[in-house]
């Protein structure tokens, strides 16, 4: 087993508007992308981010060997409770999921 980040070329997070966070997983090879598609479950993401599985969207883009994951932010971007206004520091729980 390896960490998810070990399969990716790029793994980043960012805002998808003020209410959602999105993650880009970009892979060197189609084989790595397909392996992650097969092994990564919404339940893993839900546990890592304490979010409901039903709120998680996973979209594959095979043409460019990438996967996008999106779900609602816990706090609206820029609110007093928000600790990452751009959403760019949220990728490590995802990166550390073991596959």
Q: Are 87 and 21 in contact (CB under 8 A)?
A: yes
Tens digit of each residue's pLDDT (9 = 90 or more) over 46-97? 999 999 999 999 999 999 999 999 999 999 999 999 999 999 999 999 999 9
- pTM confidence score: 0.95
Element (H, E) at 15: strand 10-15
Instruction: Give the CATH number for residue 39.
Output: 3.30.980
Q: What local confidence, expressed as pLDDT, does residue 63 receive? A: 95
The total number of structural domains that make up the chain: 1
- Torsions phi, psi of 9, nearest 5? -85, -45
d(CA 39, CA 60): 13
Please give the residue range of the domain that contains residue 23: 4-95
Residues linked to residue 99 through DSSP beta bridges, in sequence order: none
Q: What local confidence, expressed as pLDDT, does residue 29 receive? A: 97
Tens digit of each residue's pLDDT (9 = 90 or more) over 10-51? 999 999 999 999 999 999 999 999 999 999 999 999 999 999
d(CA 21, CA 74): 9
Residues linked to residue 60 through DSSP beta bridges, in sequence order: 67
């Amino acid at each position: 087993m390896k960490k998810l980040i070990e399969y990716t070329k790029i793994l980043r997070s960012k805002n998808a508007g003020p209410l959602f966070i999105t993650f880009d997983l970009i892979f060197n090879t189609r084989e790595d992308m397909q392996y992650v598609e097969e092994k990564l479950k919404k339940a893993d993401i839900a546990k890592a981010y304490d979010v409901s599985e039903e709120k998680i969207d996973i979209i594959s883009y095979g043409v460019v060997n990438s996967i996008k994951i999106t779900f609602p932010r816990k706090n609206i971007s820029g609110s007093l409770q928000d600790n990452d206004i751009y959403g760019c520091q949220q990728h490590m729980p995802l990166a550390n999921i073991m596959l």
